[in-house]
Amino acid sequence: MLLQMEKITKRYGSLTANDEVDFTLREGEIHALVGENGAGKSTLMRILYGEERPTEGRILIRGQAREFASPADAIAAGIGMVHQHFMLFPSFTVAENIVIGREPKAGPAFDRKAAAEQVRALSEKYGMPVDPWQTVADCPVGIQQRVEILKVLHQGASIVILDEPTGALTPLEVEWLLKAIKGLSKQGISFILISHKLQEVMEAADRITVLRDGRVTGTVAPGETDPAGLSRMMVGRELVPFRKMPLQPGRDVLDARGVTVKGPKGGKVLLDRIGFRVRAGEIVGVAGISGNGQSELIQAIAGLRRIDEGRIVLDGKDVTQAEPMAIREAGLGHIPEDRYLWGAAKEETVADNGVMGHQGIFSRGGLLRQGKIRETVARWVSDYKVKTGSIDTKAKHLSGGNMQKLIVAREMAHGSPFVIAAEPTRGVDVGAMEAIHDALVKRRDEGGAVLLVSSELTEILKLSDRIIVLYEGRIAGEMDAEDATEERISLLMAGGKADETA
């Protein structure tokens, strides 16, 4: 056995994050680790990668007991980790990022040409093509992920931990990555795959271990189960079938008219005369490959980016150049696409994050009503099953999925007539996904208007009443949900014409 983690227990005071967890990995195996947010997956991997020390238990590599006091110790033992949020230097080249810490030298100086040759040889060896001289900031997300994988392979990793590797990838990039992982495993590289996307896990993994509340509930082969079976192991119950009331649209809540956004100093057009509406009692989905204007559209509507031309009318009020707080007060709820950049303050408490952006509701005479804040946020934590020690815990100690659930609870709680839901289920488990989808559909059924922006086509098709597709900053097509297929949407996302999808 290549790796054995035996009876791993990790306690933080009264909280037990891992409870006598056993986990093994064979050479050339892809072993998936799944579970709800807060089930203990990340803690277990932080222990393996030397970022945490176990309270009890031991780690064996090829039968030899090892202790890792830091990631450097884990790397020296042949363990590499590709984090969900990439650890790259955007201004450096691909080669510079891959060889960092092990730079080839020409005398005392860094030999960039030798580094590029090393990276070219490495990429050819493992079938992961990259341009060594390209700046990482200019690379698509899928290429940046290749750089991360090549970096850990350059460090000599024989065990690679992949944390939510497909979260920000397009369907084609996901397909390529899964094939690449399988190819690397045939060359003897072993993978631990952490993912909430159960269909991808079923497709890629040789074995699957499920965690629930810090304990292992089972280890199975894909042929022994299905996504529904894995879901039951993860959440301990059957998931409720998805239901949505028939569409009964009302008044226009959002009306975007000829919205144009240009880059810095009037440069590249990022949004080109975008026009659409979202009605009360309707979910409008926005699909598109990352980088085709989705982020700029969200930011323009929310007041986070100035528009150069056009108008935005929210619930009858012109909010074209309004400040973000004024737009919120006009009726906007906003689940942001990047929960940490736009939606949370990691150093503040769960309670403080729960009222962020809505402080006025919880204040009297200019003073925050702490009792009301604590009571309200505690209720949200319970309703959305946010796993936290207490509402006084700093947000940085929540898992990404639990942080997402808190943000969704906050933005859905105030009955805003219009909600932007941008990547609302990115990085969350199947139970949380069910709860978030139910909350969005409930808002729609109660007469709210929802703009759903998601890179997950299954989510767009499942929730939307109408779908618009963005390509290079323009609306490439619009269709009712009953006319939409993954093939039609994918073609429009790639720049195909609407009549080609008929």
pLDDT at site 465:
95
For residue 283, give the nearest of 335, 327, 244 by alpha carbon. Answer: 244
Task: Read off the amino acid at residue 96.
Answer: E
Mean pLDDT of the chain: 90
| pLDDT tier for residue 501 given thresholds of 50, 70 and 90 | very low
The per-residue pLDDT for 186 is 94
Task: Indicate whether 387 pLDDT > 80.
Answer: yes
pTM for the complete prediction? 0.70
**Using one digit for the tens of pLDDT, what is the confidence trace for 313-369?**
999 999 999 999 999 999 999 999 888 888 899 999 999 999 888 887 888 888 888
Q: Which residues contact 269 (CB under 8 A, 6 or more apart)?
A: 260, 261, 262, 263, 473
d(CA 45, CA 25): 13
pLDDT at 493: 85
- Residue whose entry in the numeric block shows the structure tokens 């879901």: 231
* Beta-bridge partners for 25: 3
pLDDT of residue 217: 93
Q: Which residues contact 432 (CB under 8 A, 6 or more apart)?
A: 36, 37, 384, 385, 401, 404, 405, 425
Residue 440 has pLDDT above 70, yes or no: yes
Which pLDDT score is estimated for 10? 95
pLDDT number for residue 84: 77
pLDDT for the residue 173? 80
User: Three-state secondary structure along 201-240?
Assistant: HHHHCCEEEEEECCEEEEEECHHHCCHHHHHHHHHCCCCC
The sign of the CA dihedral 404, 282, 312, 275 is positive
Structural contact between residues 161 and 45, judged by C-beta atoms closer than 8 angstroms: yes
pLDDT of residue 500 exceeding 70, the answer is no
Q: Encode pLDDT of 241-289 as tens digits.
A: 667 788 889 999 999 999 999 988 767 899 999 999 999 999 999 998 8
% of the chain exceeding 90 in pLDDT: 64
| Mean pLDDT, residues 82-86 taken together | 83
User: DSSP secondary structure string, 60-116?
Assistant: EETTEEE--SSHHHHHHTTEEEE-SS----TTSBHHHHHHTTS--EETTEE-HHHHH
Provide the CA 470 distance to its chain's centre, in angstroms.
20
The better pLDDT of the pair 2, 430 is held by 2
Could you identify the residue written with the tokens 């022994």?
224
147-160 pLDDT, tens digit per residue, is 999 999 999 999 99
Tell me how far CA of residue 399 lies from CA of 124, 281, 323, 379, in angstroms. 36, 32, 31, 19
Q: What is the pLDDT of residues 472-484, one digit of tens each?
A: 999 999 999 999 9
Tens digits of per-residue pLDDT, 224-237? Answer: 998 888 888 888 77
**All domains of the chain in start order, with CATH:** 3-235 (3.40.50.300), 252-342+417-501 (3.40.50.300)
Token readout for 271 is 């949004």
The Cα-based distances of 326 to 177, 332, 345, 368 in angstroms read 43, 9, 21, 20
- Per the CB < 8 A criterion, the answer to whether 419 and 330 are in contact is no
State residue 205's pLDDT score.
Answer: 96
pLDDT higher than 80, residue 496: no
- CB-based contact 190:2 (threshold 8 Å): yes
Which are the contacts of 221, defined by CB distance < 8 A and separation ≥ 6? 206, 207, 208
| C-beta neighbour count of 128 within 10 angstroms | 20
Can you tell me whether residue 494 is helix, strand or coil?
coil
Position 415 confidence tier, pLDDT thresholds 50, 70, 90: confident
In order, the DSSP letters of 138-185 are GS-HHHHHHHHHHHHHHTT-SEEEEESTTTT--HHHHHHHHHHHHHHH
The tokens for 242 are: 């998805």
pLDDT interval class at 238 (50, 70, 90): low
